[in-house]
Chains A and B, each alone.
Chain A
Amino acid sequence: MTVKELLLVILSAAVADNLVLSGYFGFDSSVLGANKKSFSLCLGAVIIVSTLICNLLHGILVSMGVEYMEIMVFALVILVVCAIAVKLMGEKAPSFAMLTLNSVLLGVALTGHSMGLAEALCYALGTAIGFWVLLEVFASLRLKLNNPNVPKAFKGMPITVLAAGIIAMAIYAF
C-alpha cells in the first residue's frame, strides 16, 4: 500500500469508520474513563501493541489450521498486554478492570487481523487517535450533562448514550 492509502486508513479509522460511533465498540469504558488522561494514553498504546501481536498470531493460527481459536488467543493476548501496561505505568496506570473490559481492544484485533501488517498498524493508530478525541469530547460533555433540567429517568448513563447518538449522527454524515 502507498503512503497516501495508509494515511487514508488512519483518517477513516479515526473519523468515518470510528469503531466507537459506528460499531459501538468501547463505548461503555470510553464514557467511564473520560476524565482520565492516563486512560487514553495507556489504551492507545495497548490498542497498537495488541493489534500488531494479534495480526501476527492470526497468520500463525491460519498456517496451523486452528483459526477457530482466534477469539481465545486474542482475548488472552489483550489480557497480558493490559497487565504489562498497568505494571509499566505504575501509579499513573488506569484501572485494570476498565482497561481489560474495553471492547474496542477485541474489536480492533478482530477487524484488523486479516489486514497486512502496515495497514493493521495504521488502522490501530487511527482507532487510538479517534478514541482519544472521543474521550476528550465525552469529558467535556459530561460536565454539560450535569444539568438539573435533565429528567430523572435520563440522569447519568441514558442522557450520555443519547448524546453519543447525536454525535454519531454527525459522524454518520461522512
Chain B
Amino acid sequence: MNEMKKFGSAAAANTGLLLFLAAVPAMGASADVGSALVMGVCVFVLALLTALVVCAVRKVLSGDAVIAAAVIVAAGFASLLVMLLRAYLPAVYPTVWMYLAVCAVNMMLVSQSEQGLAQAVRASLIFLGAVVLTAVIREVLGAGSFAGVALPFMEGYKLSILTQAPGGFIVFALVMAVLGGAKKGE
C-alpha cells in the first residue's frame, strides 16, 4: 500500500493531477452553478472531516488498516452529507448525490498524503474553484442563465451541448488548460 501513499502525496502536491483525479465529480456536478457550489462545499466539508479523523486514526492503526479506516470514515461522512442534501436541498440532490459518493473513494487518496489536513483543505479549495468555474462557463454559454436566472443577452446564442455530457468534458479540459497554464506562467 506504499504506492497509495506515494500517489496520494503526488496528487496533493500536483494541481494538474489533482484536477484530473477530481474530474469525475467536477464534470458531473457542473451543469449549473447551484449544483457546483453545493458540490464544492460538500467536498470541502468531506475532505476536512475525513482528514481530521484519519489523522487521529493514523496514530492508533497502521498500514492497510488505515486505508480501510479512511474508506469507512469518508463513506460515512459522504452518506451523512447525502442524507442532508436529500432532506434540505432536494432540487440539487439528484444531480449531486452519486458524485458525492464517488468523492468518498477519492478522499481515501487525499487522506494518504503525508501532510494530511493542510493538503486536504488545499485540494478541496482548488476543487471548489475549478468546479464553480466550469459550472459558470457551462451554464452561461450552454443554458443562457446564471444560477437559474435567465440572461437576456444570451438568448439565441446558447450552445446546449455544453450542458450535456460532451460539454462537461470540453469545458473542463479548457479549465484544466487555463489553471495548469496559469500555474506554469504560460
Contacts and interface: CB of A to CB of B under 8 A. Distances in A.
Contact of A72 (B72, B83, B166): B72
Interface in A148-162: 151-154, 156-159, 161-162
A159 B102 CA distance: 24
B170 interface: yes
A55 interface: no
Nearest to A110: B98
Contacts of B141: none
B75 A21 contact: no
Given A97-B3, A158-B173, A172 B166 contact: yes
Interface in A30-69: 31, 68-69
Contacts of B169: 24, 161-162, 164-165, 168
A117 interface: no
Contacts of A157: 16, 19-20, 176, 180
Contacts, number: 132
B146 interface: no
Contact of B166 (A68, A79, A168): A168
Interface stretch (B35-43, B47-55, B104-112, B124-132): B104-112
Nearest to B21: A28
A88 interface: no
Interface stretch (B23-31, B114-122, B147-155): B23-31
Nearest to B68: A79
Instruction: Give the residue among B1, B28, B109 with the most A Cβ atoms within 10 A.
Output: B28
Given A103-B24, A110-B98, A172 B164 contact: yes
Most buried by A among B20, B169, B172: B169
Contact of B173 (A26, A110, A162): A162
B109 A153 contact: no
Nearest to B23: A28
A111 B27 CA distance: 18
A141 to B, nearest CB: 13
Contact of A23 (B82, B165, B176, B178): B165
21 contacts: A24-B28, A27-B23, A69-B79, A71-B78, A71-B101, A72-B79, A79-B67, A79-B71, A101-B21, A101-B109, A107-B98, A152-B181, A152-B186, A157-B19, A157-B176, A159-B173, A161-B20, A161-B169, A161-B172, A164-B169, A169-B161
Interface of A: 21-28, 31, 68-72, 74-76, 78-79, 95-97, 100-101, 103, 106-107, 110-111, 151-154, 156-159, 161-162, 164-166, 168-169, 172
Nearest first, the 3 A-B pairs at minimum CB distance are A165-B169, A153-B181, A161-B173
